Amino acid sequence: MGTAGESSREWVDAVLVLLGGLMAGFEAHYGYAPDENEVVRRSVALDEATSAGLVGLGAPGELVGFYAVVGEVSLPDVGSGWFIDSAEDVVAFARDGVRPAGVSGALDGGIVVFGTDGGGGLLAIAGVDGRVYRLREGAFVKTMYEVETAGLEVLAADFPGFLRYLLDQVHAAAAPLPPTA
């Protein structure tokens, strides 16, 4: 396997091909136009302060490598929606207390919240085990997200696994869509 950047570039290419198929048949199938579904490639290098901020939050190397290639991801028409924030927003949201920096309850420890789903769930990597979780039905208190077992869903064992999971979600959404009757 290549570097995180190479893997991220391959992931972007695969998602963009699938999105082309999804968008081509979307309106005929659903009867309304799709929202803007996009993977934005980073147009300028990830600056040192943002990279250091991600590392300081506990972001694994794979996430930092992803952000060296990808600016952000918006997939509102894939499942209930998937959104990966920009690296700059991840750092700013944690710094400004907009997003939690830790989790307690069913899981305890530091987290890096890097996005959301379309249902209000937070996408987070846990420092304690490196897994990617969807956090729902919890309470955001100060810098902590208090969540019980029912609101804690493991999406992948690590960030590369999450990218494979998300690619599978895009693939399922882009499966040939027959027109509705």
* pLDDT at residue 116, rounded to an integer: 97
Q: 4-8, 37-41, 105-109, 113-117: which range is least confident on average? A: 4-8
d(CA 45, CA 143): 29
User: What are the boundaries of each domain within the chain?
Assistant: 4-174
Does 132 have pLDDT greater than 50?
A: yes
- Residue range 2-9: average pLDDT? 73
d(CA 48, CA 54): 10
Q: 25-34, 104-113, 127-136: which range is least confident on average? A: 25-34
Does 31 have pLDDT greater than 80?
A: yes
* pLDDT at residue 129, rounded to an integer: 93
41 beta partners: 70
The CB-side HSE value for 58 (13 A sphere, CA atoms) comes to 18
- Residue range 161-178: average pLDDT? 88
Amino acid present at 176: P
- Residue range 59-87: average pLDDT? 96
Task: Give the pair of three-digit tokens for residue 83.
Answer: 């959104």
Q: Which residue is listed with tokens 């509102």?
A: 76
- Residue range 108-132: average pLDDT? 95
* pLDDT at residue 1, rounded to an integer: 44
pLDDT band, very low/low/confident/very high, at 28 (cuts 50, 70, 90) = confident
CATH of 4-174, one of 3.40.1580.10, 3.40.50.620, 3.90.1640.30, 3.30.70.920: 3.40.1580.10
* pLDDT at residue 121, rounded to an integer: 95
Q: Which residue is listed with tokens 């919890």?
A: 138
* pLDDT at residue 19, rounded to an integer: 93
- Residue range 6-34: average pLDDT? 90
102-105 and 82-84: which strand pairing? unpaired
Backbone angles phi, psi at 122, to 5 degrees: -95, 140
Mean pLDDT of the chain: 92
Where would I find the H helices in the chain? 4-30, 48-57, 61-69, 87-95, 159-174
144-147 and 82-84: which strand pairing? unpaired
* pLDDT at residue 102, rounded to an integer: 94
pLDDT band, very low/low/confident/very high, at 9 (cuts 50, 70, 90) = very high
